[in-house]
Structure 1
């Protein structure tokens, strides 16, 4: 009788943990770069010359600052999701779909290692 697997082996979990740690390292480096860019943007010396080009520059700077802030927030959320995945590895719930209770495919976890949903559950929500 061929039973469906309900969890990943310790070796498989170790493999996922290494993948997540690599992604976490890169994500944290990218977040630091975004934060540095933001702090440099905020340090621009502004004098009170109210020319039209200055107003356009300020508008572009504000837009870029907002864009960098959104990227930083998204990166922060990604880091939290990766850290939560590491917690799930430790407590034995990693790789199990929260909706179906079935094992999430290895291919999906390699592509999106912080996911908590199988592709079936993800598609069903659309």
Structure 2
């Protein structure tokens, strides 16, 4: 909603700082998790490259490794997307539009922000079908 881009939050600077710190903590935790999964996947890739020509592969092992690799890549993508949502929320804090529903232009209740601090939408918008997949 275009109006929500112009509307400023009614949250106090203290509340905005609280959510900023909460989001920064979540981003840091998520980045650590992302780095760990990337390291695991990198090790799997290296081990697979080293072992590929030196030993016979049992089809079950290959399938399990491929499944684990696919799950890692899906998790990496999910975490990267989550970090992007956090960064977007931090930007909204900086420009004082944090906590404004981008579908309705109304203030998002604190309970919703506590539960999903990176959200751009109110439950009202979700329930009314004004948004998809968020």
Same fold (TM over 0.5): yes
Query: What is the Cα-based RMSD across aligned positions, in Å?
Result: 1.4
User: How many angstroms does 1:56 deviate by?
Assistant: 1.2
2:86 aligned counterpart, secondary structure = helix
Provide runs of 4+ in structure 1 moved above 6 Å: none
User: How many angstroms does 1:92 deviate by?
Assistant: 1.0
Does structure 1 residue 63 correspond to structure 2 residue 37?
no
Query: CA–CA distance in 2 between the matches of 1:49 and 1:81?
Result: 43
Please, which runs of 5 or more residues in structure 2 have no aligned partner?
1-8
Equivalent positions of 1:1-126 (< 5 A) are 7-44=10-47, 45-47=51-53, 49-50=55-56, 54-125=58-129
Query: CA–CA distance in 1 between the matches of 2:106 and 2:39?
Result: 42
> How many pairs align?
119
TM-score for the superposition, normalised by structure 2: 0.84
Q: Deviations over 1:83-107 (max 9, x none)?
A: 1100000011100001111110111
Please, which runs of 5 or more residues in structure 1 have no aligned partner?
1-5
